[in-house]
C-alpha cells in the first residue's frame, strides 16, 4: 500500500495533537505536599512529604483489619493489607495531589493533597 500525502498529514496532525495534550496535562499537574490517612471518614494522621527524609512506615490496625502505608518525599503507597481483594495495594504509588488509595472493608482512605504548580503569572 502506498501512502498518500493526505494520509501522512492526518497522521502527523494526530501525533502533534496527542503530544500537545500530553504536555499540557503534565504542565497542569499538582504537586503533592502531604499524605492524609483517614479511617471511618475521620483524619487518622497527616504527614508532610517534605519532612519524610527516609521512608516512614505507618501500621494501621483496627478491628476490621491491618494496613501498612509507606510514605516518603515522592509520595505514598499501601504496601500490605489483609483485605480480601487488596485493591489498595495493587493501586501502587500515589505521586500527585488528588491521588487516592481506598480500602473499603477497612474504611481506609490514603490521599495526597497539594498545590497547583504555576509556570507564570500574567496581569
Q: Report how far residue 77's alpha carbon sits from residue 89's, in angstroms, rounded to the nearest whole number.
A: 7
CA proximity to 85, closest of 111, 105, 63: 105
User: 111 near 94, Cβ under 8 Å?
Assistant: yes
Asked if residue 108 has pLDDT above 90, the reply is: yes
> pLDDT tens-digit profile of 67-102?
999 999 999 999 999 988 888 999 999 999 989 999
**Residue 120 banded pLDDT, cuts 50, 70, 90:** low
Looking at residue 43, its pLDDT comes to 95
> pLDDT tens-digit profile of 3-62?
788 888 888 888 888 887 777 666 556 788 999 999 999 999 999 999 989 999 999 999
- pTM given for the model: 0.71
Q: Report how far residue 80's alpha carbon sits from residue 58's, in angstroms, rounded to the nearest whole number.
A: 10
Amino acid at each position: 500500500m502506498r501512502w498518500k500525502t493526505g494520509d501522512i498529514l492526518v497522521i502527523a496532525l494526530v501525533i502533534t495533537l496527542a503530544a500537545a495534550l500530553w504536555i499540557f496535562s503534565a504542565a497542569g499537574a499538582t504537586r503533592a505536599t502531604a499524605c492524609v490517612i483517614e479511617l471511618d471518614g475521620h483524619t487518622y494522621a497527616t504527614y508532610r512529604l517534605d519532612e519524610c527524609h527516609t521512608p516512614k512506615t505507618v501500621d494501621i490496625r483496627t478491628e476490621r483489619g491491618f494496613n501498612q502505608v509507606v510514605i516518603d518525599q515522592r509520595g505514598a503507597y499501601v504496601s500490605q493489607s489483609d483485605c480480601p481483594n487488596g485493591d489498595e495495594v495493587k493501586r501502587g504509588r500515589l505521586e500527585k495531589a488528588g491521588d487516592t488509595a481506598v480500602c473499603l472493608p477497612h474504611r481506609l482512605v490514603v490521599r495526597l493533597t497539594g498545590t497547583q504548580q504555576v509556570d507564570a503569572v500574567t496581569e
